Amino acid sequence: MKNSIIFILIISCLSLYSYYVYDKYNNLETETQINYKPNKVVTPEIKDFSQPQQPPINDYLDETYDSMQMKVLNIIYIPSSNNQINLNETGSLNISIASSLLEYVNSITTQSISKLTEGSRYHQYKKTFSQPSLQYSLTDTKVYYESLPAGLPLPWKANTNRPDYKKILERENICEYVDNMGLKEVWVWGYHTEKIEPVESNMSMGRKIREKWNKDEYGDVSNSEMTNDLPICNKTYVLYNLNYGRGVGEVLENHTHHIEAVNNYIHSDLWRKFIGLSGDQESYSCGWTHYPPNVMKYTTGHDYDWYNTRSVMSDCTDWKPDGTGKKELVSCSTWSKNNCEDDGGVAFKVWWMQNIPGLDNETGNWWELIGDFDDSIK
């Protein structure tokens, strides 16, 4: 009898345990099914595949440092109908779908904002914790599926016009952005054809520095013919007309040419020393947008020669106005990290900008001329 009771108890325990395991397994399976979420389908971002992927700015930035804020308004003109780009108006493009082109512009904008901020970090290539003098950010984007309005004719090219920048910006009530929202730059995206030729950079000096205007009725220091073609606000702003048939390298180039124009206007003697002499020299300084220091020997024929492997002595990485900076060998490997492949000049332009006197430089911070033109010109 005793043995029978023990046997029954054992059988009961095994049954309970089996039920527990079965129930636990089923619950686990049920929970897994309930909590299961299919992988989210993400539409790939259209990027500028003609440019190598660049690492993002590192996270070692001092949040207490107050960089000059460079707020950007993007205005995009894509002549199109039913999502098909009018290529007769824009000229040849690799993209024919308007929505795809818009994604491309947004991607190039993001990359360019990162590179311009990185470029304002003085000697960042050897000082990891260097802070940016300028912090670029996108304030707003306006998109119009129509042609750029034609503006002033080019004096040197028959039947070719600039876009009508006054019409474009008055449509946006631009002075509300500039005077009340701290906008510093307008990026107008469009195309370059026989009929429409974009300006690379264009400035409208503000009324608050009226006494500094370099023209009777307006002020403009830029890489342009400097005509009276922009609305005038109380504060200064700069317009860049960018070509969505190109890439990040050309966005940077428009900016570096503007940097050259402003510095040459404010302190031309110092700026010439920073660029350095061309021709056959024992050593060179920093060169300029089209001519890196290692091709400054040549006076012609080497524009955009950012990948030249020639090594020369240069004081650019330790540039001082009195010429006492330490000299070292530089070549395309200096800015391209031994790569020296075609990237639209992105690597050189970032490196070149990072040698412009910035934070903690005894010559002063020249980025103030870009980030705070109104106060710096006083």
Q: Establish if 337 belongs to a structural domain.
A: no
Quote the pLDDT of residue 363.
92
Contact 79, 144 (CB under 8 A): no
**pTM for this one?**
0.84
Q: Establish if 93 belongs to a structural domain.
A: yes
CA angle 287, 122, 297 (to 5 degrees): 10
Identify the residue whose tokens are 């070509």.
Answer: 243
Strand partners, 141: 74
Residues 134 and 143: their CA atoms lie apart, in Å, by: 26
Residue 202's CB is within 10 A of a number of other CB atoms, namely 25
Q: Establish if 322 belongs to a structural domain.
A: no
Q: Establish if 59 belongs to a structural domain.
A: no
Phi and psi torsions of 252, nearest 5°: -65, -40
Q: Establish if 262 belongs to a structural domain.
A: yes
Residues 280 and 298: their CA atoms lie apart, in Å, by: 8
Instruction: Please count the structural domains in the chain.
Output: 1
Quote the pLDDT of residue 65.
66
Digits of tens for pLDDT over the chain (378 positions)? 444 444 444 444 444 444 333 333 333 332 222 222 222 222 233 333 333 333 344 344 445 468 999 999 999 999 999 999 999 999 999 999 999 999 999 999 999 999 999 999 999 999 989 999 999 999 999 999 999 999 999 999 999 999 999 999 999 999 999 999 999 999 999 999 999 999 999 999 999 999 999 999 999 999 999 999 999 999 999 999 999 999 999 999 999 999 999 999 999 999 999 999 999 999 999 999 999 999 999 988 999 999 999 999 999 999 999 999 999 999 999 999 878 999 999 999 999 999 999 998 999 999 999 999 999 998
Q: Establish if 103 belongs to a structural domain.
A: yes
Range of the domain at 212: 68-266+361-377
Q: Establish if 58 belongs to a structural domain.
A: no
Quote the pLDDT of residue 218.
98
- 10 Å CB burial of residue 172 (0-12, 13-18, 19+) is middle
Q: Establish if 170 belongs to a structural domain.
A: yes
